[in-house]
């Protein structure tokens, strides 16, 4: 069972190479510097070597290319992130979310898609859906250049075909009706083209705007 969420949960989403991790780290530093009451949650990051699955993939890296193993590994990471996050804060900022799992397990087959997403709902049963998703939009040619030139281990989802499939998944989810668990999620899009600091400032301004709107709304409801 998930912890009760009190604050506004806003997460970053986007295709591989969109710059989510860089933006997230910038936002964490900026929010901390400005004294904002916030918590962070990263449901796809490794949860530590004390976990059996994490130890297995560290000892046998090839296991990360096994799709079944990835389902259980990322479910474990997601639930761990939820259990350790401070959901009582005014703002919860997320580096990816449940929606990442939906996008990466999306299938062109409606039946297989329903099965994959249902499995995710069962296994990743502790993480909250975000209130807002800020989708970092970057053209495919730019993504390919970033992926091909970055100093990072290649992933089975780094192919051009997987990028196209993931983009279809995100667009379908943005349009609503894809999964009841995320029907109330509100989507915002920010261009990921340009200087990273400029993009980060745009995202920061958007987050502060939504936080202010929620605070005003809360004050109105309490009167």
Q: Count CB atoms within 10 A of the CB of residue 125.
A: 13
The model's pTM is 0.90
Quick: pLDDT tens for 1-49.
Answer: 567 878 999 999 999 999 999 999 999 999 999 999 999 999 999 987 6
- DSSP characters for 78-113? HHHHHHHS-TTSSEEEEES-HHHHHHHT--SSHHHH
Residue 194 to residue 173: CA distance in whole angstroms: 26
What does each C-alpha distance from 56 to 45, 48, 124, 143 come to in angstroms?
15, 12, 20, 30
Give the pLDDT confidence of 66-85 residue by residue, as tens digits.
889 999 999 999 999 999 99
Residue ranges per domain, the chain? 8-222
Short-list 8, 19, 70, 34, CA closest to 190:
19
The span from the CA of 48 to the CA of 65, in Å, is 19
Please tell me the predicted confidence (pLDDT) of residue 162: 87
Question: With 80 as the cut, is the pLDDT of residue 133 above it?
Answer: yes
Residues 143-190 pLDDT 10s:
988 888 877 766 777 788 888 999 999 999 999 888 999 999 999 999
Q: Which CATH class is domain 8-222?
A: alpha beta
Q: What is the pLDDT of residue 217?
A: 62
CA angle 14, 18, 19 (to 5 degrees): 115
Helix, coil or strand: residue 186? strand
pLDDT at res. 222: 47
187, containing H or E segment: strand 186-191
pLDDT at res. 148: 83
pLDDT at 6: 82
Rounded to an integer, what distance in angstroms lies between the CA atom of residue 22 and that of residue 15?
13
Please state, in angstroms and rounded to a whole number, the distance separating the CA atoms of residues 52 and 155: 21
Strand duo 132-137 + 91-95: pairing = unpaired
pLDDT higher than 50, residue 223? no
């Amino acid at each position: 069972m998930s912890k009760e969420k009190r604050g506004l949960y806003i997460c970053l989403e986007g295709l591989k190479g969109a710059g989510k991790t860089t933006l997230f780290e910038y936002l964490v530093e900026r929010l901390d510097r400005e004294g904002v009451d916030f918590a962070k949650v990263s449901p796809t990051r490794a949860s530590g070597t004390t976990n059996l699955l994490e130890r297995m993939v560290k000892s046998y890296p090839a296991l990360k290319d096994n799709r079944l193993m990835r389902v259980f590994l990322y479910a474990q990471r997601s639930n761990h992130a939820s259990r350790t996050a401070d959901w009582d804060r005014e703002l919860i900022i997320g580096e990816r979310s449940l929606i990442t799992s939906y996008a990466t397990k999306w299938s062109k087959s409606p039946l297989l898609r329903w099965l994959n997403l249902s499995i995710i709902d069962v296994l990743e049963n502790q993480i909250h859906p975000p209130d807002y998703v800020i989708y970092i939009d970057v053209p495919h040619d730019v993504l390919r250049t970033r992926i091909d030139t970055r100093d990072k281990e290649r992933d089975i989802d780094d192919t051009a075909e997987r990028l196209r499939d993931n983009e279809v998944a995100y667009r379908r989810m943005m349009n609503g009706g894809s999964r009841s668990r995320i029907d109330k999620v509100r989507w915002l899009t920010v261009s990921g083209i340009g200087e990273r600091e400029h993009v980060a400032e745009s995202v920061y301004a958007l987050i502060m705007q939504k936080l202010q709107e929620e605070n005003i709304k809360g004050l109105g409801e309490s009167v």
